[in-house]
Amino acid sequence: MPSHPSSITPAMSDMSYRGLLSLQGRVFVVLGAGQGIGEQVSHALSECGATVVCVDSDPWRAQAVAETVHGIPVSADITQASDMERVFQTASALPASGPLGLVDVVGMVIPNDLTHGTESGWSRQFQLVLDHAWLAMRVGARAMQGRGGSMVFIGSIAGTVVRSGAALAYASAKAALHHLVKGVAQDLAPQGIRVNAVAPGLTRTPRLVASNPDSFWTTEAARIPLRRVGMPSDIAAAVLFLSSPLADFVTGQILAVDGGSSLASGGGFNLAASGPAPT
């Protein structure tokens, strides 16, 4: 019988997909590393060989996570340019043999509807979700010049599927973040800097678990096609993929990690309580 040419080229047969998950020699900045998704992201990156700069507004939380992942703790207010500069100066000074990485997890919900919401609440929501992300991109891009890098931001399916009422400000800010990610990805691609986002659905973060009863989680799990809510580890796994060489040809993408929630775009939902609204 005539032989058939192999569908795998010699170059492809030499490919080590396990090796593409290695982050040995790389330094990553994780903003919001102190708990929940940020903590799990720090563990994921560290387990694959990265040195992690664990940034949190709470110095105790930054220190605690850094100790468990053998990382570098930094306490900072990521809404301030001087603090963001200090974060990346710390990361840039560490020994590394590869591109620099950034994962930005910051961005809590501030309930704020159109009729009864406040201007200060609207502004604060955009500061926490969008303004600081722009700042991280700006300072991070400068630090990555000449070495390349990866940026991953935590968006939300609320930024993709229309949300109103108390979620209006949050959803609007996340939608703006998604657009910012795509625009900056296009701008930075020629420099070898990739920019992506993960858009979680409802996820059992410490803040949400503390603010919502068990009945809330049971009810909301039933609305999700996979019949469960997300865990911080689900989001960290997606961040790890986008941060690794496995995703070297991926940029400007918003990856939904939501159990299929965004498939039913017209479906109802209940906004998770996240603590008292700021005064």
Annotated catalytic residues are: 170
Q: Can you read off the two tokens belonging to residue 158? A: 């609320």
Residue 49: CB partners within 8 Å, gap ≥ 6?
22, 23, 24, 25, 26
DSSP readout, 219-279?
Answer: HHHHHSTTSS-B-HHHHHHHHHHHHSGGGTT--S-EEEESTTGGGSTT----PPP-SPPP-
Neighbours of 7 (CB within 10 A): 6
Can you name the residues that pair with 53 across neighbouring β-strands? 29, 72
8 A C-beta contact, residue 143 and residue 88: yes
Do the beta carbons of residue 130 and residue 176 sit within 8 Å?
A: yes
Contact (CB, 8 A) for 74 and 54: yes
Q: Is 60 exposed, middle or buried (0-12, 13-18, 19+ CB in 10 A)?
A: exposed
In the three-class reduction of DSSP (H, G, I as helix; E, B as strand; rest coil), residue 72 is classed as strand
